[in-house]
Amino acid sequence: MKTSVEITLEAILFMAGQSVALNRLATAVELDPASTAKALAKLQSNLSSRGIRLAQSGDQYSLVTAPSVASEVENFIGNQQRTELSKAALETLAIIAYRQPVTKTDIDAVRGVSSEQTLKNLLLRGLITESGRAKVTGKPVLYSTSLKFLEILGLSHAGQLPKIEQDSGEQS
């Protein structure tokens, strides 16, 4: 029975052609979100050596091409889409990627400069999303990385980001 849920999820995600929220998937397979998430995790692991992978960011899931064959896929599309990111953008992305969700103030505190413009750019490029509000005074916006962020780096989920030694010990 579990197997057919995974198969159903795989088929639905293929047909969707874009990212789908967990809740919608849960409804589609008539299960609660927690069980659906488990099935999706299994699907992700099943696909991990295929040409199509399952990417997950927050509550969004999407089938994506395997990063290892990026150049072949690129040739097929016939479209060079090199992403260029400025140093400021990379720093900001790194902070968000490793500490998400995180507020603008937190980001500024690490960088020692205002990240307002950079955040606007990253939002525009679809590399980060607003993922809620912090439970502190002023309820500032929280930022997280998006599925597109995972795509351009060839990752399936944020946990695949390389670990960096000398963790400052302030992981949220």
Q: Report yes or no: 88 and 118 within 8 Å, Cβ to Cβ.
A: yes
Q: Which residue, 10 or 151, has its beta carbon nearer to another protein?
A: 151
In this chain, which of 104, 111, 125, 157 binds another protein, going by CB under 8 A? Answer: 111
Within 8 A by CB and 6+ apart from 6, the residues are 39, 42, 43, 46
Q: Which is nearer to another protein, 32 or 112 (CB)?
A: 112
Asked if 57 touches another protein (CB under 8 A), the answer is no
Q: Is 122 in the site for another protein (CB under 8 A)?
A: no
DSSP state of 160: G
Stretch of 21-29, 30-38, 42-50, 56-64 lying at the interface with another protein (CB under 8 A)? 56-64
Q: How far is CA 161 from CA 94, 101, 137, 152, in A?
A: 10, 15, 31, 13
Among 9, 55, 102, 119, interactor with another protein by CB under 8 A: 55
**Tokens found for residue 103:** 């507020």
- The one among 12, 31, 41, 66 contacting another protein by CB under 8 A: 66
Q: DSSP E strands: which ranges in 32-157?
A: 52-57, 60-65, 102-103, 128-133, 141-145
- List residues binding another protein (CB under 8 A): 17-19, 53, 55, 62-68, 70-71, 73, 77-79, 81, 83, 85, 87-88, 90-91, 93-95, 97-98, 109-114, 147, 150-155, 161-162, 164, 166-168, 170
